[in-house]
Structure 1
Amino acid sequence: MNLKRTFGAILTILGIIGLIYAAFIFAGSTANQSMRTAIIYGVLGIIFFISGIGLVKRTKDEA
């Protein structure tokens, strides 16, 4: 079991969830506060997603 790959997968899943939640907030937003919340969740989702994918790609597969 490779701990770095597992952590990368968890970060990737959290990033996807954050991006989906940001899109859900953005689709139903009418006020400025909701837009700000959607941007925050979107940025955090992108950061988690990119870091998770990068961690999975850089980690060597050892048997």
Structure 2
Amino acid sequence: MNQKRTFGTILTVLGIVGIIIGALAFLGVGGIGLSKMNSIVPFVVGLIFFFAGINLVKATGDRA
């Protein structure tokens, strides 16, 4: 597996985790003690990581 593809996969997974944490913090579920405005930060960072990872995986070609 290519290193760029592996890094893209890691970024995508971290993005998904960030989106979930941001959503849970916004809803006040799970004991995450963040205000509504502060919960936007992990959500936005998660979106950035998610889309960067997806683009990295899509742009990297396979080599046999």
TM-score > 0.5, shorter chain as reference: yes
Query: RMSD of aligned C-alpha atoms?
Result: 1.3
SS for the counterpart of 1:36 is: coil
**Structure 1 gaps, min length 5:** none
User: Secondary structure of the equivalent of 2:62?
Assistant: coil
Paired position in structure 2 for 1:19: 19
TM-score by length of 1: 0.89
One-letter amino acid of the structure 1 residue matched with residue 28 of structure 2: G
Which residue identity is paired with 1:16?
I
Q: Deviations over 1:9-55 (max 9, x none)?
A: 000000000000001000118xxx61122110011000000000000
Q: Give unmatched runs, 5+ long, in structure 2.
A: none
Could you list the runs of 4 or more consecutive aligned residues of structure 1 that deviate by over 3 angstroms after TM superposition? Answer: none
Specify the alignment match of 2:60 in structure 1. Answer: 59
Q: Looking at secondary structure, tell me which structure has more helix per residue.
A: 1
Rounded Cα–Cα distance in structure 2 between residues aligned with 1:59 and 1:37 = 34
Question: Equivalent pairs: percent with the same residue?
Answer: 55
